Structure 1
Amino acid sequence: MLTTNANSQIQALANTVFAYSKREGDHNTGISGLTAHIRNAPTEPLHCIYTLSLAMVLQGGKQLSIHNEQLPCVAGQSMLTTFDLPVVSHVTEASRHHPFIALVLKLDYSLIMQVCAELNLSKPSRDMRYQPISIHEFDMELCDAMSRLFRLQQQEKFLPSLAPLIEKEIIIRLMDSPHGMHLRHLASAGSPSSQILKVVAWLKQNFTQSIGIETLAEQTHMSSSTFRQHFKALTGASPLQYLKTLRLQEARDQMLMNGLDASQASSFVGYESASQFSREYSRLFGLPPQKDIQRLRQF
C-alpha cells in the first residue's frame, strides 16, 4: 500500500506530464526513448507489440491480455517488459477530467548487461518463474529517478551529460526492485530463455524472410520440438504464430503511419498472397485492412 506522501508524489508527476503534453495522444519528449501517453476515455482493445521497456502508470488504469491472462495495471504500478511481446492492450480507466497518464522508457539491453556485470549480480535460481511482463507497486526511488529524467528536458544544457546517468540509475534501481530478477534472467547467458530471446531479436530484424522452424532451432542448439516448447512457454505463441504477428503488426504500422495500401503493406512484410494477408489480418485485428485503418484514424 502506497503512503499518502507517495501518492502525492505520483500525482505531482502526473500533473507535470499532463502540463507538458496538454492533449490526448502519445508524445515524444526531449529525451530519446521516453514517451508520455494520455487518454481522455477508455479505449478499444488494441493488438500491439510491447518492447523492452519500463512503464509507469501515474493516473487511471489499463489492462493487458497475454497468454489468455488478464493483467491490470493501475495508477501507482510499474510494468517491466523484457522483450518484444505481442499483447492486446486497452485503457480501462480514463475521463476528460481524470485522464489516463503514463510514462514509458525504452530500455537499453547493452546498458542492462553492463549494470549486471558492474554490480556482479548473482544469476536467478533455476526454479524462478520468469515473466516477460511483470507488474508491481511503484518503488518510489525509481519513481523519483523517472521524474528527474522527465524534468531534465527543461534543462537542455545538462541533458546530454545527465540523461545517461539517470537512465543508468533507473536500471540499477530496477535491479533492486521486485522487477530485478526478471532483468537478471534477461542478462543471464546460457539459459534456454536467453537463447529464445536471441531468436526473438533476430526475428524482429528478419521477419520478411521465409523461415523454417529447423533454421530457428539451430540458432539455439535445440531440437525443433524442444525449441518450439521453450518458445511457446516464453512468448505464449508458436514461432510461426509469433512471426505472423510481427509481420501483421508491421504491415498495420506501415498503413497507418506511412500511407501504404494493403497490397503494398503485404508485400513489404513478406506476403506473396494478398488474399492470405487480408484473411490473416482480419483474423488478428477483427477487421479487413482498409476498415481497420479507417477505425484507427478516428481515435
Structure 2
Amino acid sequence: MKPHIELKELIARHATQEGLQATPVPRLTLIRASQPTEPMHGVHKPSICIIAQGRKRVQACERVLEYGAGNHLIVSLDLPVLGHVIDATPEEPYLCLRLDLDLALLGTLVLEMNAPIGQTTPSCKALGVAQTPDALLNAAIRLVGLLDKPQDIPFLAPLIERELLYLLLRGEHAGLLHQMLTPNHRLQNVNRAINWIRTNFHRPFSIEIIAAEARMSSSSLHEHFRAMTSMSPLQYQKQLRLQEARRLILTEALDAATAGRKVGYDSPSQFSREYRRQFGAPPVSDVTRLKTRPGDLAEA
C-alpha cells in the first residue's frame, strides 16, 4: 500500500469526530472535516501539519497558501492565521495530523547532528509549505499507527517523534526550524514578546514593556514583529482578545458584554464593532453559526 493511502486510512479510522481530536500520543492531534469550512481566525502553534486527504487554504503574513494531500505545513511560532478547509466531502473528508514541535528535542537533535543547516529565506519567516517525502510519511504512519497499540506509545512515540524532527531538519525548511534555536535570533526575541502578550493580553500595556521583554528597542521590535507576523504587537493583542472572547461566548455561554470585559474591553460598543470586523458577524450570530457547524473550528 502506498504511504499516502495508508496514512489516510489510519487517520480516517482514528479521527471519528468532526474537528480536532486529541490522542494519547503526546503532542499529536488528528483533524477531520466532512465539508468545506468557513474561514476561521486562530493562533497556530509551532507545529507540523501533514494532510492525508483534502485541501486547506491559510492566510498568514500577507500570503495565501493552499496545501493538500502530499503537502505539509511547518509553523515556527505562535502565529495568527485565517484558515479554512476548501476540499472535503462526507465520502472523502479532509484528514490531517498535527504534531506540535518540541523545542527541547529540536535543540538536542541540532547539537547531536553537529552539521550546518542551510538557512532558508521564505517570504514569511514563520511558516512554510513543502511536499511530503515518503520517509516523512512513513514516520507519520508509524506514529499514528501507535494508536492501535497504546501499550507501545510510551516506548516508541519518543523514538518516532525524534525521527520525524530529524527528517524535518534535513528537509527544505530546515532553516525555518533552525532559526527557532539560534541564540539571540530575532525570531526568539519576537517569540518572547508573543509569549508575554499571550499571558497578559487582557491587560493594557506599552510598547516599551514588550520591547524590554523581547530584549529589543521599541523600533526594532515593531520592525521584526511585523516581519514575522505581518502585524504590530497591539494588533496581535487585539486578535488574542477577540479569539478568547469568542471562546468564552461559545463554550461558557457568556453574553457579549461580559466576555468583552473579561478580555480587556471597557466599551461594549467598541468590542461589538471589532468583533464583527474580525469575524464577519455580531457575537450572537457568529456563535450560533459555529454551533451548527462544529467542523469550522478545525485549526490545522
| Aligned-pair CA distance for 1:141 | 1.3
Contact 1:139–1:177 (8 Å) recurs in 2:
no
The answer (yes or no) to whether the contact 2:190–2:225 under 8 Å persists in 1 is yes
- Is 1:251 the counterpart of 2:245? The answer is yes
Question: How many Å apart are 1:194 and its aligned residue?
Answer: 1.9
> 1:128 and 1:236, CA in 2 relative to 1: closer, same or farther beyond 3 A?
closer
Equivalent of residue 12 in structure 2, options 4, 13, 18:
18
Q: Aligned in 2, Cα 1:145/1:93: closer, same or farther, shift over 3 Å? A: same
Write the distance in 2 (CA, Å) between the matches of 1:81 and 1:209. 27
- 3-state SS of paired residue (1:86): strand
Q: Of 254, 270, 273, which residue of structure 1 is paired with 2:267?
A: 273
Query: Within 5 A, what are the aligned runs for 1:1-299?
Result: 8-122=2-116, 125=119, 131-299=125-293
Structure 1 distance, partners of 2:292, 2:8, is 26
Question: More deviation in 250-259 or 61-70?
Answer: 250-259
Q: What amino acid is aligned across from residue 197 of structure 2 in structure 1?
A: L
Cα 1:128–1:49 change in 2 (3 A) is: closer
Given that residues 120 and 172 in structure 2 are in contact (C-alpha distance below 8 angstroms), is that contact kept between their aligned partners in structure 1? no
Cα separation, partners in 2 of 1:153 and 1:84, compared to 1, 3 Å? same
List runs of 5+ in structure 2 lacking aligned partners.
Answer: 294-300
SS in 2 for 1:158: helix
SS in 2 for 1:237: coil
TM-score if structure 1 supplies the norm length?
0.91
1:43 to 1:233, Cα distance in 2 relative to 1, 3 A: same
RMSD: 1.9
* Alignment partners' CA distance in 2, 1:126 and 1:59: 27
Give the corresponding residue for 2:296.
none
d(CA) in 2 for partners of 1:13, 1:86: 28
1:123 is displaced (CA, Å) by 6.1
Shift of 1:121: 4.1
CA contact (8 A) 2:3 2:141 kept: no
CA drift at 1:124: 5.2
What is the deviation of 1:86?
0.9
Structure 2 Cα separation of the partners of residues 234 and 168 of structure 1: 27
**% identity of equivalent residues:** 34
Relative to structure 1, the CA distance from residue 70 to residue 172 in structure 2 (aligned partners, 3 Å threshold; closer, same or farther) is same
**Deviation larger for 233-242 or 130-139:** 130-139
CA gap 1:109/1:257 in 2 versus in 1, 3 angstroms: farther
**TM-score w.r.t. length of structure 2:** 0.91
Farther-moved stretch of structure 1 (241-250 vs 158-167): 158-167
Q: Structure 1 residues 198 and 123 mapped into 2: Cα distance closer, same or farther (>3 Å)?
A: farther
Write the distance in 2 (CA, Å) between the matches of 1:123 and 1:144: 23
In the alignment, is the contact (CA less than 8 A) between 1:42 and 1:93 conserved in 2? yes
SS of the counterpart of 1:187?
A: coil
Q: CA deviation at 1:226?
A: 2.0
Partners of 1:104 and 1:87 lie apart in 2 by 15
Opposite residue 296 of structure 1, the aligned amino acid is L
Conserved 8 A contact 1:130-1:182: no
Local SS of the residue matching 2:167? helix
Asked if 2 retains the 8 angstrom alpha-carbon contact of 1:136 and 1:178, the reply is: yes
How far the C-alpha of 1:92 sits from its partner, in A, is 1.0
Superposed displacement of residue 125, structure 1: 4.8
Contact 2:44 2:78 (8 Å CA) reproduced = yes
Structure 1 letter corresponding to 2:18: E
Task: Flag structure 1 segments of 5+ consecutive residues without an equivalent.
Answer: none
Q: Using the alignment, how far apart are the partners of 1:155 and 1:33 within structure 2? A: 17
